[in-house]
Amino acid sequence: MTAEADRLDQPDRPTPPGGPARPRPARTPQRLLRSERLRWTALALGGYAAVRLTGLAAVVVWGHRLDPGQSALHRLATLWDAQWYQHIVVHGYTDQLDVGGYANGIPYSTLAFFPLYPWLISAVHAVLPLGVAGSALAVAWAGSLAAAWGIFEFGSRLYSRRTGLLLVLLWGSLPGAVVESMAYSEPLFTAFAAWALLALLLRRWLTAGLLSTLACLTRPTGIAVAAAVGVAALLAVVSAVRRRDATGWVRPVAAVAVAPLGFVGYLAWVGHRRGRWDAYFEVQRAWDSHFDFGRSTLASYSRLLFSAQPVWLTEAVTAIVLIGYVVLFAVGVLQRQPPWLLTYGAVLLLVALGDAAYFNSRVRFLLPAFSLLLPAALGLARLRSRAATMLVVVSAAACSAVYGGYLTWVYPDAP
């Protein structure tokens, strides 16, 4: 980034009262810079849309070849967990699920799914003639675009617009990026997380706290956003104390108080409904989701390396992706990324590696961990050859599209 480009990101100064009616010549560069920012934003969102449309085209082609009687959009809107979010919209939270009765001695329940995504589906369904499945897909797609915008803004503010653009394109080209086009809660959660981290970067404390609350109402991993808010606030309070700023701690502390309310509130509600404080964790055990400190992950790697059983492509991809994310996190530490940003990625990694949920879901769990892609985006941004950069991005998008079709139509389990 040049110094001139950096100045473009500065807010406009208001014209003093009584000033000239026409803008001063000195304001022209700021206007040009605002125009440039709009062009970069349009490029980022357009590039992301192109990547995801390529993925959708691949899903349509796979579906036409394997199941021409079923609409690709209907499959994306109703596959696996998508149906449970829509079950909540239609029936409310219930234990009456047709998924085989019990697991681990505990009845399956939609209480495992956090409420904000179903609430938004209900709101869209109430005002648009899309049906429940169509409304779920509309909310997810809107969340994907909002996430892409937030990711671009975050990467641009932290490093450069080129880095932000590449970060968005990489996020849209991940192996599990087809979930960004499904009626799942990950796109919406990523949107709240991206804008919350941007608010932290800009020291907009209350905005960060409120967005963290929304993230915590969307997925249990919202606690990663709340942890990032906590670390950033701690650093700000320490800085205020050193500066002897008597009020510099107020907004950071307020943000910390607000950040986890969605998570705590939902767990408290489930506990009240079930009559026990740990009711939510009991519900999660029915879905084989509990923290086992990585024993299940290690067992999966052991089976992949030493067992003679056949290996699904998704298992191999998951194993490689997890290792890749760990390496990228280590590189981020070496690059001295902000501690609160590392905290966000670390908590998401900890959940993905330490949860007992079935192995292949971990790629999806890490879909919101766009911050872990920053070292890759920075590396691509530093390439002198635009052709080489485009080759990497296009290749990643093509592989993601083909793999997304495989996940949607061939692989028999949830992504």
Helix (H) or strand (E) holding 107: strand 106-107
Token pair 């019990």 is at which residue? 102
Contact 173, 393 (CB under 8 A): yes
pLDDT of residue 98: 56
Which residue numbers in the chain have pLDDT < 50? 1-26, 100-101
Interatomic CA distance for residues 192 and 368, integer angstroms: 10
Contact 171, 177 (CB under 8 A): yes
Contact 155, 366 (CB under 8 A): no
- Phi first, then psi: give them for residue 195, nearest 5 degrees: -70, -30
Contact 304, 319 (CB under 8 A): yes
pLDDT of residue 24: 46
What value does the CA radius of gyration of the chain take, rounded to a whole number of Å?
22
Residue 362: alpha-carbon gap to chain centroid: 13
Helices (H) and strands (E) in the chain, counts: 19, 2
pLDDT of residue 97: 63
pLDDT of residue 11: 37
